[in-house]
Structure 1
Amino acid sequence: MWKFRTGTAWRDVPERYGPWATLYTRFCRWAADGTFDRMLRAAQAKADAAGDIEWLVSVDSTVVRAHQHAAGARKGGSVTRPSAGPEAA
């Protein structure tokens, strides 16, 4: 958890936690085998039983970022192309 809280590289994890390569290998194994998912579900179940979780969710689109190229329309406007289908009468 220290590594992700600080945003540091694996090689910079303090020695008190053990060799960085061992930590990385264990992290990858736990991520692959679902250990973190099980830990999260257990923590959520415990907090839910204690009434510590509010399950109401609100999504506010003002915090959802769009890709930089999705910011506006094409420059010069759109070109209207004739349809290849039959004419509308």
Structure 2
Amino acid sequence: MILVHLQYYAQLREQAGMSGEQVNTAASSLRELYEELRLRRGFSLAAEVLKVAVNAQFSAWDRPLRDGDTIVFIPPVAGG
């Protein structure tokens, strides 16, 4: 199991009911982690519409997870 720190913004924060959490996961990539969280937290957004950052740098979805990573899932910005 890997321990990661998660931060949620906008719609994801509303759906999770929190701005962040620490999670132990068996996921091996960012995409697997997000799919696990979609089931657990009921996120309605698909990974394809999000950006993801790890340790303050944008990252590809297939990046392997490392113990202690800080991960931010970034939903699309709406406004006008």
Work out which structure has the larger RCO, using CA pairs closer than 8 Å and 6 or more positions apart in sequence. Answer: 2
TM-score, length-normalised on structure 2?
Answer: 0.21
**Greater share of helix:** 1
TM-score, length-normalised on structure 1?
Answer: 0.20
